[in-house]
Amino acid sequence: MPQITNYKSLQTLKRIGDFDYDSKPELNPGDDEDCITLIPYELDHKAVFEGQWKNGLRHGKGKQIWDDGSIYEGYWSKHQANGYGRLIHADGDVYEGE
């Protein structure tokens, strides 16, 4: 994964710690069957995604970092953040939930 260069995002991440997938199980158990986990992949809009893919789409558990330093980590479904996750905005604000 790329280094997080946004100071506010990095400070927030250090303060709240790693995302814990085990604290909130996936909403649709078994939906990550047949997923593969790939190395970090740069998307068209310069964001980088690391995590599970299914049928060429982000699906399952994953983390995405945008070029402004925003970070989303959580569950994905059919290429969209879906279910439980955590978004750290570039200004350091955090949302965690569904």
Residue-wise pLDDT for 31-85, tens only, equals 667 899 999 999 988 899 999 999 999 999 999 999 999 999 999 999 999 989 9
| Whole-structure pTM value | 0.87
Whole-number pLDDT of residue 28? 60
Beta strands in the chain (DSSP E): 36-42, 48-54, 57-65, 71-77, 80-88, 94-97
Average pLDDT over residues 11-17: 94
Residue 46: HSE in the Cβ half-sphere, 13 Å Cα cutoff: 5
Q: Which two tokens stand for residue 5?
A: 């260069």
Contact status, residue 66 vs residue 73, Cβ threshold 8 Å: no
Domain assignments of the chain as residue spans, ordered by start: 7-97
Give the three-class secondary structure for 59: strand
Whole-number pLDDT of residue 44? 87
